[in-house]
Amino acid sequence: MQVSTTEWLIHDYREDDLAAVVHLIDTTAGLGQESVFSLAECITALTSRQPAVVAVSRGVPIGAALAHLAGDRAWVMRIAIAPAWRGRGLASALLRELERRLVERRVRRIAYVLPEEEQLGEGLQNAGYSRRPAVAYFEKTEPQHGPSAGLLEELGGRVLPGDLWQKVAGMEAEKALIERRVVLPLAEPERAARHGVRPPRAVALFGPPGTGKTTFARAVASRLGWPFVELLPSRLADEGNLAAALRTAFARIAELERVLVFVDEVEEIAPVRGEGAPGGMHGVTNELLKLIPGFREGEERLLVCATNSIRSLDPAFLRHGRFDYLIPIGTPDAAARRAIWSRYTAGRAGVDLAALVDASGLFTPADIEHAARIAAQAAFERDLGEPAEGQRATVGAGTEDYLAAIAQCRPTVTPAMTAEFTADIGSHARV
């Protein structure tokens, strides 16, 4: 997400902004831009992907604002402004953009603790903040406990940015279903318990390739704020004994306090058992069947498996008691395609969305993204050249660029796949 003016552009913090932002925080600390949070704490927040925004002018970072989330409350840790840009409204702009991201993450209270009276206090009051009576500030350092960050890194997992759920464009029916059935019971366990609802522990997403199953899994982890660990069957197989590798991976995952585990193309490790099954896979499927019940015993764990061919999975793998829901994720309908195209065209005036929707009938979200990238690249390359005589230079792709890009792309999903998916919904879906 980016917000620009004629003077600066504000974007979400990126990893390559770290050195510049740390320099800003460090060099402005003695200029009346102080904080009760130390530089080390600010660095920790940045590297752990806490909400932060950065302002740049001509490619040079000139300001930053960062926060720390604690439940439904957020603490604004620091607003750092390059000296030459003070008093020009940049602090208010940074705070406004940071607040917008916090609200998207359902923060109800935003606090900023100043170490003493300073110029920023008046600006905070103007921005709608209320000054509370002074309090004594107590701090206690607890010994480090729980699983180390090294374990998550060892498993190839990480905490994802907190805005992925909001970025899921289109697919509103699937998104609403997943939120009601999966996200909300896990996010509101006490309320769910009052109604006798047991939060899900394992769900399977099935549908044609490219329809967004991985995107949904990542978005759920982002929405919950849980670490995301993806188990890749091909990587586990590289260890030699796939069944043993699965057992070891699940044992290590059990050490994490909370986690969303994602297994894509799960048919590779849980195919239908029988004479036609690949050699050695019978034991792998048996091992996975034994591991899932143990995984389900955790309170803050969710296993999400994805498959392009649910009919290829062993029936015992999908039965009740192992998976709570089997959720179909199909190609986007016309309304969803319009929403996705709207995102990639960025509301550009003059683009005929109806034409793009009609031309991209079987396109998946991944197909639309690819076509949009081709159109944007064509516009970029055209902008690099000299416009023909009498031709006006245009900024950004137009309808013809997008239609040409659509014509270049071959849809991932075929009519035969769609027919098979429709049949699978009738025989396998459980929502």
What percent of the chain clears pLDDT 70, i.e. is strictly above it?
Answer: 84
**C-alpha count within 13 angstroms, C-beta hemisphere, residue 367:** 24
Instruction: Supply the pLDDT for residue 277.
Output: 56
Judge whether residue 131 has pLDDT over 90: no
pLDDT (tens digit, 9 = 90+) per residue, 282-325? 788 888 889 999 999 988 999 999 999 999 998 988 888 899 99
pLDDT (tens digit, 9 = 90+) per residue, 411-426? 999 999 999 999 999 9
Judge whether residue 396 has pLDDT over 90: no
Reported in sequence order, the residue ranges of 254-350 that DSSP labels E, i.e. its strands, are 259-263, 301-307, 325-328
Instruction: Supply the pLDDT for residue 343.
Output: 87
pLDDT band (50, 70, 90) for residue 28: confident
pLDDT band (50, 70, 90) for residue 275: low
Instruction: Supply the pLDDT for residue 200.
Output: 95
Average pLDDT taken over every residue of the chain: 84
**C-alpha count within 13 angstroms, C-beta hemisphere, residue 138:** 2
Judge whether residue 31 has pLDDT over 70: no
Instruction: Supply the pLDDT for residue 117.
Output: 45
pLDDT (tens digit, 9 = 90+) per residue, 214-259? 999 999 999 998 999 999 887 877 767 888 889 999 999 998 888 9
Judge whether residue 142 has pLDDT over 60: no
Q: What does the pLDDT average to over 394-410? A: 90
CB 327, CB 206: distance < 8 Å = yes
Sign of torsion over alpha carbons 289, 293, 294, 295: positive
Judge whether residue 183 has pLDDT over 60: yes
Q: How far is CA 200 from the centre of its chain?
A: 20
User: Of residues 78 and 120, which shows the higher confidence score?
Assistant: 78
Instruction: Supply the pLDDT for residue 73.
Output: 83
pLDDT (tens digit, 9 = 90+) per residue, 318-364? 888 899 999 999 999 999 999 999 988 886 778 999 999 999 999 99
Judge whether residue 159 has pLDDT over 90: no
Instruction: Supply the pLDDT for residue 220.
Output: 96
Instruction: Supply the pLDDT for residue 145.
Output: 37
Please tell me the distance from the alpha carbon of residue 159 to that of residue 221, in angstroms, as a whole number: 8
Please tell me the distance from the alpha carbon of residue 23 to that of residue 25, in angstroms, as a whole number: 6
Instruction: Supply the pLDDT for residue 59.
Output: 84
What percent of the chain clears pLDDT 90, i.e. is strictly above it?
Answer: 45
Judge whether residue 390 has pLDDT over 60: no
Instruction: Supply the pLDDT for residue 374.
Output: 95
Which is nearest to 207 in space by CA: 192, 197, 217, 222?
A: 217
Judge whether residue 146 has pLDDT over 60: no
| Out of 126-130, 217-221, 279-283, 390-394, least confident range | 390-394
3-state secondary structure (DSSP) of residue 68: strand
What are the residues whose beta carbons fall under 8 Å from the beta carbon of 351, sequence distance 6 or more? 345, 397, 398, 399, 402
Q: What does the pLDDT average to over 5-24? A: 87
Domains and CATH numbers, the chain: 2-126 (3.40.630.30), 149-330 (3.40.50.300), 334-412 (1.10.8.60)
Q: What does the pLDDT average to over 376-384? A: 89
Q: Which residues pair with 55 in a beta bridge?
A: 10, 63
pLDDT band (50, 70, 90) for residue 430: very high
Please tell me the distance from the alpha carbon of residue 234 to that of residue 156, in angstroms, as a whole number: 14
Predicted TM-score (pTM) above 0.75: no
Which is nearest to 302 in space by CA: 258, 268, 352?
A: 258
Q: What does the pLDDT average to over 174-197? A: 92
